[in-house]
Amino acid sequence: MYILLIEDDQEAALCLMDGLIESGHQVDLAADGKTGLDKAMTQVYDILIVDRMLPEYDGLTIIKTLRNEECTTPVLILSALGEVDDRIAGLRAGGDDYLAKPYAFDELLIRLEVLLRRSQNKVYQDMLKVGDLTLNLQTHDVMRAGLLIRLQPRELRLLEYLMRHANQLVTRSLLLENVWGFQFDPLTSIVDTQISRLRKKIDKDFETTLLHTIRGKGFMISES
């Protein structure tokens, strides 16, 4: 893990750094809130360990600022303030876990591992992937082979439904109900028209076709 430790107690910080490094992790240290916030905003870390009481900016201010800037890096708060109200305040500010001082180093390591695992699972859940085509469910960015594909809102909903049912036959009726909200067949070519537009955007300039028409049955998105 690549960890940013924001801790102003030099002795405690160096002791924790040594333990983390010996455990195989890479650690950057910031001794005050402003430096820590600057590092967190300009460098990509796997985990942030943030002391709550810091000079310049306190830990909760750092976390709130990062969350307002849509930084989702997991944060473990370390603090001598260990009462229930203190822990609630830390979690409400955007912290992912709260560990009161003094703490057992082994417990801190386990908590870091759990936070990283949760973070990795969330990234996976927020991303749909078929072959080299990806859809980020948070940003709605569609990429194929590293190229950004711009879709209209309806095309995006259509693609999301197809990708959520990748390698499965999806009928026109299912698309009308789940993408357009129709409980009946309006007897138009609306589905075929949108499928054609979507296919031109995600398949036309690429060697492998992903969006397939199953004649007389419906559609399927798959690598084969």
Q: Tell me how crowded residue 162 is: count the other CB atoms within 10 A of its CB.
A: 25
Tokens (6 digits) for 36: 């820590």
- Establish how many alpha carbons lie within 13 A of residue 79's alpha carbon, considering only the half-sphere containing its beta carbon: 24
Chain segment 66-107, per-residue pLDDT in tens: 998 888 889 999 998 888 888 899 999 999 999 999 999 999
Q: Which fold has domain 2-125?
A: Rossmann fold (3.40.50)
- Note whether 60 and 90 are within 8 A (CB): yes
Domain at 127-221, CATH class: mainly alpha
pLDDT band at 187 (very low <50, low <70, confident <90, very high): confident
Residues of the chain with CATH 1.10.10.10: 127-221
In the chain, list all ranges with CATH 3.40.50.2300.
Answer: 2-125
For the segment 207-216, the average pLDDT, to the nearest whole number, is 93
DSSP state of 187: S
Under 8 Å between Cβ of 28 and 43: yes
Closest by Cα among 186, 187, 196 to 219: 196
Q: What is the pTM of this model?
A: 0.57
Tens digits of residue pLDDT in 6-43? 999 999 999 999 999 999 999 999 999 999 999 998 88
> What is the predicted pLDDT for the residue at 127?
84
Per-residue pLDDT of 124-174, as tens digits, reads 567 889 999 999 888 889 999 889 999 999 999 999 999 989 989 999 999
* Whole-number pLDDT of residue 82: 80
